[in-house]
Amino acid sequence: MSVESVKNYFKENNIQKEILEFPVSSATVELAAQAVGTEPARIAKTLSFYAKDKESAILIVTAGDMKIDNSKFKQFFGMKAKMLSPEDVERLTGYAIGGVCPFGNPDSAVTYLDVSLKRFDTVFPAAGSANSAVELTCTELEKYAQSEEWIDVCK
């Protein structure tokens, strides 16, 4: 999948948002912030973890300046946080490393939003490729990502 997949997802779901595509990489928080022209904290990074069955993914969208708090993760999900291996990222999220986003993922991938994002009026999640993003309010992100719920698993 790619930015085209996100464009199709937006079209199918009647989402009228411009996907920003850059001539440079936006694969890391720092690069995305430079490409967008914003502070790194406003980059909504999508972190991918193994679910209990090891055959599906838990996606957690956090503010760019946050890190997963392992004890909070374990308390919420009932297991240790284990990020997807590079070879499993695309298979379980639908996107390649650097472009993982919370839109149009396989049905088995469950998306959560971390409360660290709520301090911003708008944030910039990736849009399916290592050189794309979309600007969304937190309310739009919650709706378009079809997230399960807002959680607090960062430090």
Tokens of 111: 């998306």
Sign of the dihedral defined by the CA atoms of residues 44, 45, 51, 56, in that order? positive
Q: What is the pLDDT along the chain (155 residues), one digit of tens a residue?
A: 589 999 999 999 999 999 999 999 999 999 999 999 999 999 999 999 999 999 999 999 999 999 999 999 999 999 999 999 999 999 999 999 999 999 999 999 999 999 999 999 999 999 999 999 999 999 999 999 999 999 999 99
- Break the chain into its structural domains and give their ranges: 3-150
What is the pTM (predicted TM-score) of this model?
Answer: 0.95
Q: Is residue 52 within 8 Å of residue 39, measured between CB atoms?
A: no
- Angle (CA) 3-33-19 rounded to 5° is 25
Question: What contacts 24+ positions apart, CB below 8 Å, involve 76-79?
Answer: 76/151, 76/153, 77/52, 78/52, 79/52
CATH of domain 3-150: 3.90.960.10
